A = this chain, B = another copy of it.
Amino acid sequence: MDIQRHGTTRRYSDFVCHAGTVYLVEVPPDPTADIRTQTRETLASLERLLAQAGSDKSRLLLATLYLRDMADYEAMNEVWDAWLPAGTAPARACVQAKLAHPDYRVEIVLIAAQNRQPA
């Protein structure tokens, strides 16, 4: 198969890979937590998924961050900035949007590159 999926339900997959590119979306595992914890745990989930997809957080291409409340911008960024390996930041959009669960404070979409195949 030229398309690989992981964590596939009727509605979505945790990630999908095609042609060396990985597409991932993650929401907070614990929506009752504060913004720092929600961001940290969402990024930790994405990091695990990236590893399963044969990629890692130093290979992000484009990130879209949705925040329920732009007042969380600085707190989210503290966690984001600390999480990213220096010199590897992706192109990034961040906008405010109401999310599917009323307690979600953040939802993150990543497009990343898989690791290069050995020659």
Chain A residues packing against B (C-beta within 8 Å) = 2-3, 5, 8-16, 18-21, 23-25, 59-64, 66, 70, 73, 77, 80-81, 84, 86-100, 107, 109, 111, 113, 116
A92 to B66, CA, bound (A): 13
Residue of B nearest to A113 (CB): B18
Complex contact B62–A16 (CB within 8 A)? yes
Given that A61-B3, A73-B100, A77-B11 are contacting pairs, would A90 and B21 also be in contact in the complex, using a CB cutoff of 8 Å? no
A86 to B86, CA, bound (A): 40
Complex contact B95–A25 (CB within 8 A)? no
Given that A18-B61, A96-B98, A98-B96 are contacting pairs, would A91 and B3 also be in contact in the complex, using a CB cutoff of 8 Å? no
A12 to B97, CA, bound (A): 20
Which residues of chain B come closer than 8 Å to A98, judged between CB atoms? 70, 95-96
Residue of B nearest to A65 (CB): B100
Which residues of chain B come closer than 8 Å to A95, judged between CB atoms? 66, 97-100, 107
Which residues of chain B come closer than 8 Å to A87, judged between CB atoms? 5, 8
- From residue A36, how far is it (CB to closest CB) to chain B in Å? 16
Given that A11-B77, A100-B70, A100-B73 are contacting pairs, would A64 and B93 also be in contact in the complex, using a CB cutoff of 8 Å? yes
